Amino acid sequence: MLDTTPLTDAVDQFADRLRAAPESRLQRVAAAEARSLARELAVRAQTVEDPRAEPREMPDAGLFAVSDQVTVAGRDLALVLTDEAQLAEAVELVREAQKRAGV
């Protein structure tokens, strides 16, 4: 079994920082970065679960929901990953999104 703690830790850290961010920062760039990340993580999880199915897009639930969307998508992906390379890539995606979000 693959230890996905690095991914869940990175996702939790990003989500916590989003929750603590002021609304003005969320409006500028952070929410868009977080939403984009959540959508990418969700697509990756769905693709691992069923490579033949067309992935569904995570909806825009608003500024104050993006932290929860990142958490859910990241944890969903962590549950289905079985490959070290995919894990490392997902962790890097989260870290890079957090940097771009400025939180």
Under 8 Å between Cβ of 28 and 44 = no
pTM over 0.85, yes/no: yes
Distance CA 31, CA 66 (A): 6
pLDDT at 1 over 90: no
Distance CA 62, CA 26 (A): 10
Mean pLDDT of 65-82: 97
User: Percentage of the chain with pLDDT > 90?
Assistant: 98
- What confidence tier does 14 reach under pLDDT thresholds 50, 70, 90? very high
Mean pLDDT of 60-68: 95
